[in-house]
Amino acid sequence: MEATEVKDLIDESHERERRRHGGGQDGDQHGGHEGGSGVKTSTAIYIAVLAAALAIVSVAGSNAGKELMANAIEASDGYAYYQAKTQRQISLRLAADQLDLLGAGMPAEAREQALKRAAEYRLSADRMEADDGRNSRKDLLAKAKAAEDRRDHAAAQDPYFDFAEGLLQLAIVLASVFAITNMGLILWASRGLALVGLMLAVDGMTLAVPLPFM
């Protein structure tokens, strides 16, 4: 619900009240106008606060969704790169073993060249495992797991923000209905929904109290 729509609803309700009591005495009209103005102001402030909270929760939920997607892609790419490098490492070691076997039946000079090439293959395979900080298999696996952890954290946050956003929207709708009907029960229901929504939003940001149904 847009802020202009909320304002129009509030103005419409109080205009209706003013017309309803328009036939009374001047003093009554003046008192009713002052009372209506106070309710209008407090309701507008309450709705404005809810709208601000809704905007914050909406941004947080959007960021969690983006974080979820980005880290899911990063983790997938990291594991794919890790698997490709593992396959390359296995291929180099198999090639080195084959050269060792073939070199046994070769002339001395050819056998020396084969063994030299096999040693180079094994060195390259070992470098893939131990080249710390330069996309070694260990580094790739650690980066993929870190991205996976961030993805899971964002996935855990996302439903909290979704529920919080829905509850705050309902709270704004009920506050708008209260502005028209002036029924206190509706206002208290709006406040209850807003409180639960804000608690879910805070819990989504901190994950201090994991809820089983989320």
CATH of the domain at 87: 1.10.287
Helices then strands, each counted (H, E), the chain: 5, 0
Range of the domain at 158: 3-22+41-206
| Interatomic CA distance for residues 73 and 173, integer angstroms | 38
First to last CA, the chain: 26
Highest mean pLDDT among 19-33, 88-102, 164-178: 164-178
CB 167 within 8 A of CB 194: yes
The reply to whether 110 falls in a domain is: yes
How would residue 110 be classed by pLDDT, with cut points 50, 70 and 90? confident
Answer yes or no: is pLDDT of 38 > 80. no
Highest mean pLDDT among 6-10, 12-16, 41-45: 41-45
| Interatomic CA distance for residues 135 and 108, integer angstroms | 38
Q: Residue 4 belongs to what H/E stretch?
A: helix 3-20
The reply to whether 52 falls in a domain is: yes
pLDDT at 204: 93
The reply to whether 35 falls in a domain is: no
pLDDT at 23: 46
Answer yes or no: is pLDDT of 152 > 70. yes
The reply to whether 82 falls in a domain is: yes
Q: What number is the average pLDDT over the span 129-152?
A: 84
The reply to whether 33 falls in a domain is: no
The reply to whether 116 falls in a domain is: yes
Answer yes or no: is pLDDT of 7 > 80. no
CB atoms within 10 A of CB 116: 12
The reply to whether 30 falls in a domain is: no
**pTM of the prediction?**
0.70
The reply to whether 29 falls in a domain is: no
CB 115 within 8 A of CB 99: yes
With a pLDDT cut of 70, the percent of the chain lying above it is 80
The residue ranking higher by pLDDT, 5 or 91, is 91
The residue ranking higher by pLDDT, 50 or 13, is 50
Q: How many structural domains comprise the chain?
A: 1
Answer yes or no: is pLDDT of 109 > 90. no
Tell me the one-letter amino acid at 89.
Q
Label residues 11-42 b or e (16+ Cβ within 10 Å = b).
Answer: eebbeebeeeeeeeeeeeeeebeeebeebbee
Give per-residue pLDDT as tens, 54-71.
999 999 999 999 999 999
Instruction: Give the number of C-alpha atoms closer than 13 A to the C-alpha of residue 89, restricted to the C-beta side.
Output: 16
Answer yes or no: is pLDDT of 180 > 90. no
